[in-house]
Every structure is written in structure tokens, then in C-alpha cells.
Amino acid sequence: MSDLKKQIQGEVIIAMKSGEKERLKIIRLITASMKQVEVDERIELDDARIIAILDKMVKQRRESISQFKTAGRDDLVKQENYEIDIVQEFLPQALSEEEVDDIVNKAIETTGANSIKDMGKVMGLVKPQIIGRADMGEISGRIKSLLSTN
């Protein structure tokens, strides 16, 4: 069993014992998402796959927040932000701007990318290094702008 999976399961017990119902609800959503993938694909999740699941959960909540803000539902925005905070506890520490730039520039160098046509090659190298540690949409935009200026 992966270390991250053990950590998440341990947090379920801690939340139950401390009576943190809202926190427990979010952590159970995480475990349910993990279990769904394990059952559907008949696999045992490793840390990298769990991080991808958590990253997807954060992304979904960010999309919801933008829709709730448009609708003026501050109560729901607050709830989604709370859920993001809980999910992010299990993600690796976010990368700094400089670290992201280094990863992107090294990937462009390694692939010899010189136009937007090479975007897929660059993303292929970058994604495994930053998933769960930076916003993929933001990184994609950054790579596009770098490749379009070349």
C-alpha cells in the first residue's frame, strides 16, 4: 500500500475521533475517488496516481468556484475553498515560479522544441514533474507563450 494512501486512511480515523464532521466528509470523498479508480481499473494505486486524483479534485473545485462567483454564491465558494484546503494537505508542496520555469525550460531544451507544434513533447516531460504541485492550465499557457515567441 502506498504511503500517501496510508496517510489518507490515517486522517480518516483522526477526523472521526476528533469529531471533525466536515473534514471527515472531504477525506471520505478522497478515499471514495481512490476506491472508484481501484475498482474500475482493478489496480492498486501508487502515490503518483493518487496525486493525479487529488489534483483532479482540486481542479474540479476551482472550476466550481469560478461558476459560483459568477452566480454570486459566496457560501458555496467558501465551501469549495475549504475542500481545496483539505485536499491540498495530501498533495506535495507547491512549486515556486522559479522551479516551474526551470522545469519548463529544461523540457524545452531536452526536446529541442522550437515551435507550438512541439507543445505535446514538452508537456509530456513537464507533466509528471509538476502534477499536483502546480496548475496545469497555467503551465500550459506558459509553455505556449514560450514556444510561440521562438
Same domain, 28 and 84: yes
Determine contact, residues 2/63, Cβ cutoff 8 Å: no
Q: What's 94's DSSP letter?
A: P
Of 92, 83, 82, 77, the C-alpha closest to 131 is 92
Same domain, 10 and 69: yes
Which residues fall within 8 angstroms of residue 133, CB to CB, at 6 or more apart?
91, 92, 93, 94, 95
Same domain, 41 and 79: yes
What confidence score (pLDDT) does residue 150 get? Answer: 59
Q: Say how far apart CA 83 and CA 73 lie, in whole Å.
A: 16
Same domain, 30 and 75: yes
Which residues fall within 8 angstroms of residue 38, CB to CB, at 6 or more apart?
44, 45
**Residue 114 reports pLDDT greater than 70:** yes
**Residue 78 reports pLDDT greater than 80:** yes
Same domain, 111 and 134: yes
Round to the nearest angstrom and report the end-to-end CA distance of the chain: 45
Q: Structural domain of residue 18, as residue ranges? A: 3-88
Q: How many domains does the chain have?
A: 2
Instruction: Write down the pTM of the prediction.
Output: 0.81
CATH number reported for the structural domain that contains residue 58 in this entry = 1.10.1510.10
Same domain, 78 and 101: no
Query: SS3 for 2?
Result: coil
Q: What is the pLDDT of residues 7-59, one digit of tens each?
A: 999 999 999 999 999 999 999 999 999 999 999 999 999 998 999 999 999 99
Domain endpoint, select from 88, 122, 140: 88
Same domain, 78 and 130: no
Same domain, 10 and 55: yes
Same domain, 21 and 40: yes
Same domain, 50 and 123: no
Domain endpoint, select from 41, 56, 88: 88
Domain endpoint, select from 88, 112, 133: 88
